[in-house]
Amino acid sequence: MTPTPTLAASETNHPPQVQSLISYLEHEAQPMIVLDPDYNILAANTAYERQFGTADRPYIGHKCYRISHHYDVPCDQAGEHCPMKHAFELKGPDRVLHIHHTPRGPEHVDVELRPILDGERRVVAYVERLTTVRHASARPSKEGLVGSSAAFNAALEAVQRVSRSNLPVLLLGESGTGKELFARAVHEASERHRGPFVVVDCSGLPETLFESELFGHEKGAFTGAQNRKKGLIETAAGGTLFLDEIGDVPLAMQVKLLRLIESGTFRRVGATETQQADFRLVAATHKPLQQMMAEGAFRQDLYYRIAAFPIVLPPLRERRSDIPLLVDSFLQRGSRSGQRVVVQPAAMALLQAHDWPGNIRELRNVLERARLFADDGVVRAEHLPEWLRAPHGPHTQPSAVSRADMSAAAQSDEAIRRLVADGRLSRKEMAAMAGLSERTFYRRLKALGLGGN
């Protein structure tokens, strides 16, 4: 039996176009909803119900921004891109990456919205298709990419957009910003995700080996080539080839790369016949390729081949709001005993104030060290390296965040909520961690609706 769409009982007088749409939606495997031009959810299919529905939170007849974001106003008034507003202006589809509240917690969702027009080109309704992004998490996660800041979301949205095509992608970012993880995300979001993901560290390949590693070689092609060997390009067939640190490829090898990309063919060293390559190219570098081009250190023709779709990965200091999420993720990852490790708000404030020249890799290393000192499962300021505690020490650049800011951060609503949500400490201990008296802490709890009795 075909399940009936989840229709609001009071909403049966829809225009005919909308009525047939609602029936049509039910046959879609992906979560979809129908909205009226005033943001109200008119209907949702079973796939939506399964993935986003909760028994205790009805959504039919409710505003989309309330259900998905817990906002009281439309997204554009809350500082986000509102696809409905844009689709209305365009009279055409719009697509955006948002973080939605779901029964599982916050999740990255790729939202595609199409307006439904009547005979006079007036918008009578919208259809929204929601696709959960599986290669990044907005909650602490034991693996993969995590982040929910605007800068992170913009990079993730670019990944979502490009992954449907076969276009080369160029990831630009400082060391430790997650270029390899993003390259993997491009692969996983693409149609090639069942194929191999092959990483080539161009900085670690001496010029003499570059060609034979990449293209493979025939038996006897050179001294030491005792057997025929498949190259990395062949290994990547049907999948993605990730050229990490492409800015380190010597000029002589750049010509060979260009030929490969332009012709889509290659030849094993010592072979006479050419072979067809079948990979999607993702390249990454922390080097200023345009400047290198101007200096003649990087070929212009190669640059324009690989830079069809550049994605800039933000340094950690430009996405500080992701630090608590990253911290929780890394502490989960490192836990062997399964013991949950939490971070004292004052320590978290120090972590958020640092400039992180080594980016996420540096943060991960600091946490790995700190957890070794956290015998009782609490990372405190004294468990962090000296240079991080002295904000103007030799390792750091003077930070824009002062000590006063730090203690304010330790006492922020967010920090207090985290302490309570952790649930392991007594009220007295929580007050001490926040650097507040027990009475003041008690009052803050009441004000936050976190139980003051």
Ligand X SMILES: Nc1ncnc2c1ncn2[C@@H]1O[C@H](COP(=O)(O)OP(=O)(O)OP(=O)(O)O)[C@@H](O)[C@H]1O
- Footprint of ligand X on this chain (CB under 6 A)? 145-147, 173, 175-181, 286, 326, 329, 360-361, 364
CB count within 10 Å of CB 384 equals: 21
| Alpha-carbon span 372 to 369, nearest angstrom | 6
Q: Dump the DSSP string for 235-267.
A: HTTTEEEEEETGGGS-HHHHHHHHHHHHHSEE-
Q: Is the Cβ of residue 145 or residue 415 nearer to ligand X in the bound state? A: 145
Q: Answer for the pair 138, 164: CB distance below 8 angstroms, yes or no.
A: no
| Alpha-carbon span 419 to 413, nearest angstrom | 10
Q: Is the Cβ of residue 63 or residue 364 nearer to ligand X in the bound state? A: 364
H helix intervals, 375-437 = 386-389, 403-410, 413-422, 427-434
DSSP letter, residue 40: B
Q: Is the Cβ of residue 128 or residue 322 nearer to ligand X in the bound state? A: 322
Q: Is the Cβ of residue 311 or residue 378 nearer to ligand X in the bound state? A: 311
Q: Is the Cβ of residue 19 or residue 175 nearer to ligand X in the bound state? A: 175
How near is the Cβ of 138 to ligand X at its closest, in Å? 11
Q: Is the Cβ of residue 195 or residue 334 nearer to ligand X in the bound state? A: 334
Q: What are phi and psi of 331, to 5 degrees?
A: -70, -35
Q: Which of 41, 53, 121, 119 is nearest to 84 (CA)?
A: 41
Q: Is the Cβ of residue 135 or residue 217 nearer to ligand X in the bound state? A: 135
HSE-CB of 277 using CA atoms within 13 angstroms: 23
Q: What are phi and psi of 418, to 5 degrees?
A: -65, -40
How near is the Cβ of 58 to ligand X at its closest, in Å? 35
How near is the Cβ of 221 to ligand X at its closest, in Å? 31
- The type of residue at 414 is E
Q: Which residue is nearest to ligand X (CB)?
A: 178
Q: Is the Cβ of residue 11 or residue 180 nearer to ligand X in the bound state? A: 180
| Alpha-carbon span 55 to 101, nearest angstrom | 15
SS3 99: strand
First to last CA, the chain: 52
How near is the Cβ of 360 to ligand X at its closest, in Å? 4
DSSP letter, residue 171: E
How near is the Cβ of 288 to ligand X at its closest, in Å? 14
Q: Answer for the pair 84, 74: CB distance below 8 angstroms, yes or no.
A: yes
Q: What is the dihedral of CA 423, 426, 429, 434, to 10 degrees?
A: 50
How near is the Cβ of 370 to ligand X at its closest, in Å? 16
Paired with 7 in beta bridges are 43
DSSP letter, residue 104: T
How near is the Cβ of 372 to ligand X at its closest, in Å? 18
How near is the Cβ of 361 to ligand X at its closest, in Å? 4
Q: Is the Cβ of residue 96 or residue 202 nearer to ligand X in the bound state? A: 202
SS3 379: strand
SS3 45: coil
How near is the Cβ of 348 to ligand X at its closest, in Å? 17
How near is the Cβ of 326 to ligand X at its closest, in Å? 6
Alpha-carbon torsion 146, 288, 257, 251, what sign?
Answer: negative
